[in-house]
Chain A
Amino acid sequence: MAYNWNWGVFLQPTATGDDSTYLDWMFHGLQMTIGLSLSAWLIALLLGAVVGVLRTVPNRWLSGVATAYVEFFRNIPLLVQLFLWYFVMPELLPENLGNAFKQTNPIVQQFLSSMICLALFTSARVAEQVRSGINSLPPGQKNAGLALGFTLSQTYRHVMLPMAVRLIVPPLTSEFLNIFKNSAVCSTIGLLELAAQGRQLVDYTAQPYESFIAVTVAYLLLNVVVMSGMRWVEAHVRVPGYIGGK
């Protein structure tokens, strides 16, 4: 029952005869994972910042809408959300739009659904961080801004947000890591990202352990890169002499 280790398998040409090696497959998967995660992350940051700010404004309607947004995306499983975007959304769009979507390249369909899904899912979490960052500022900061004659939106822009953003870099790091991991869920609609390529490798090569280890190492590397990147950001935005929130 001994298992035959064969690390050379990655350099073999694939069984599909398309002139690529299994290592190429892994790289394509990695590229997809990175492209998807980064694009979704950018959208999530923007949306999350807006929704998070709205949750703290003194207008019950706006903050109510923002709260509903967050609750919606937090209480439905990611996989269900993904299927809703991929299978249900095109049916609910106006007919011509829905059809246009269904006629695009399947990879584009998968990518768009995945990106929107991850972006909105993550934006709700980013919004929570933004809100708690704003709420953890000393309450006098807002008054100090207003007392100088800033409008409420100027106070947010020049006084509260710059500090809140700095405070939430560490928790955002963890959300950033999550988006890479969550992108693996998109393999379920056929998107060939890293985890899916790993699975394909098992099917084609019958070397499950090598593929498993290779994919795991790739995710570990992504983690390390993201963490060092965010640590750099953290050091870069650190305010001299500033310790703690209050």
Chain B
Amino acid sequence: MISMNKVSKHYGSFQVLADCTTQVQKGEVIVVCGPSGSGKSTLIKCVNGLEPFQSGEIIVNGVSVGDPKTNLSKLRSTVGMVFQNFELFPHMRIIDNLAIAQVKVLGRNPEQAREKGFKLLDRVGLRVQAEKYPGQLSGGQQQRVAIARALSMDPICMLFDEPTSALDPEMINEVLDVMTELAQEGMTMMCVTHEMGFARRVAHRVIFMDQGRIVEDDSKEAFFGNPRSERAQQFLAKILHH
């Protein structure tokens, strides 16, 4: 579904990504972790072309992201993305947040789009909030809406960039529950997160990044059982002691 081959990116002389290579199969859930500044966000933004990269190759569902001939908008409409700060559109009602891209990008008719929006809101338990504005919802609710918005495009895979790290602790679980359910339904997911409980529950593989490199790329069992690199061991120790 997603395959990266020796992807590198730098700002001037600063190497953000160095020779990153990995694959995500259909239905697989991958958790990406690592210290802050290690390039996790950059890596997953490269997948849908939000960040350009200088060398290497990324193929998503048979389409090369780096190819200048690729229609990036079309590619992105098939890849869902959820951001750390939710990024709902503050001037639109919740239901319009869900409908607008269906109408403007996929060309669905507005009625169908709203109907689909309502269904997805139902699914994340927020149907009653449909006519409110994002600013009137809590962080956890906003993030659930953001997930529903991404799902409204019927994505073939989903990217999450630290979806719970801007949330108050008591709201983290409501978002993780939605993500877990999604994973159990077989959605292909690539999640940057430090929620190791989530990783243990649903991840198939864990990628550990440090200084722009993929240091570990292991099955969940291997990673939690006995990470090979010292950095990953330290990182896990720190996280688990929280």
User: Taking beta carbons and an 8 Å cutoff, which residues of A are in contact with B?
Assistant: 138, 140-141, 143-151, 154, 158-159, 162-163, 166, 239-243
Contact A241/B48 with A146-B76, A154-B105 known, Cβ cut-off 8 Å:
no
A140 and B91 alpha carbons, distance in the complex (Å): 15
- Please tell me if B101 contacts chain A, counting CB pairs below 8 Å: yes
Evaluate contact between B74 and A149: CB separation under 8 angstroms: yes
**Minimum distance in angstroms from B109 CB to a CB of chain A:** 17
Report A-chain residues with C-beta under 8 Å of the C-beta of B105.
148-150, 154
Report B-chain residues with C-beta under 8 Å of the C-beta of A148.
76-77, 101, 105, 149-150, 153
Evaluate contact between B153 and A242: CB separation under 8 angstroms: no
Top 8 A-B residue pairs of the complex, sorted by shortest distance between their CB atoms: A149-B77, A241-B135, A144-B87, A241-B136, A148-B101, A147-B81, A242-B135, A149-B105
A interface, over-half SS:
helix
Evaluate contact between B104 and A150: CB separation under 8 angstroms: yes
Which of B78, B84, B100, B132 counts the most chain A CB atoms within 10 A? Answer: B100
Report A-chain residues with C-beta under 8 Å of the C-beta of B153.
148-149
Cross-chain contact of B104 among A140, A141, A158, A166 (Cβ < 8 A): A158
Cross-chain contact of A163 among B50, B72, B90 (Cβ < 8 A): B90
Evaluate contact between A240 and B133: CB separation under 8 angstroms: yes
Evaluate contact between A147 and B50: CB separation under 8 angstroms: yes
Evaluate contact between A240 and B136: CB separation under 8 angstroms: yes
- Interchain Cβ contacts under 8 Å between A and B, 24 examples: A138-B85, A138-B87, A140-B84, A140-B87, A141-B87, A141-B89, A143-B50, A144-B88, A146-B72, A147-B79, A147-B80, A147-B81, A148-B150, A149-B101, A149-B105, A149-B153, A154-B104, A163-B91, A239-B133, A239-B135, A240-B132, A241-B134, A242-B91, A243-B135
**Minimum distance in angstroms from A232 CB to a CB of chain B:** 18
A242 and B134 alpha carbons, distance in the complex (Å): 8
Contacting residues of chain B (197-225) with chain A, CB-CB under 8 angstroms: none
Evaluate contact between B104 and A242: CB separation under 8 angstroms: no
Cross-chain contact of B90 among A149, A150, A242 (Cβ < 8 A): A242
A162 nearest CB neighbor, chain B only? B91
Report B-chain residues with C-beta under 8 Å of the C-beta of A166.
91
Contact with A along B106-138 (1 / 0, CB 8 A): 100000000000000000000000001111110
Report B-chain residues with C-beta under 8 Å of the C-beta of A145.
89
A71 and B91 alpha carbons, distance in the complex (Å): 32
Evaluate contact between A147 and B104: CB separation under 8 angstroms: no
B103 nearest CB neighbor, chain A only? A158
Report B-chain residues with C-beta under 8 Å of the C-beta of A240.
132-133, 135-136
- Please tell me if B231 contacts chain A, counting CB pairs below 8 Å: no
A239 and B53 alpha carbons, distance in the complex (Å): 37
A149 and B71 alpha carbons, distance in the complex (Å): 10
Contacting residues of chain B (34-74) with chain A, CB-CB under 8 angstroms: 45, 48, 50, 72-74
Report A-chain residues with C-beta under 8 Å of the C-beta of B104.
150, 154, 158
Which of B84, B104, B153 counts the most chain A CB atoms within 10 A? Answer: B104
Contact A146/B50 with A154-B104, A158-B89 known, Cβ cut-off 8 Å:
yes
Contact A149/B89 with A158-B104, A243-B135 known, Cβ cut-off 8 Å:
no
A237 nearest CB neighbor, chain B only? B91
A243 and B90 alpha carbons, distance in the complex (Å): 10
Report B-chain residues with C-beta under 8 Å of the C-beta of A154.
104-105
Report A-chain residues with C-beta under 8 Å of the C-beta of B150.
147-148
Cross-chain contact of B89 among A143, A147, A159, A241 (Cβ < 8 A): A159
**Minimum distance in angstroms from B42 CB to a CB of chain A:** 12
A140 and B161 alpha carbons, distance in the complex (Å): 11
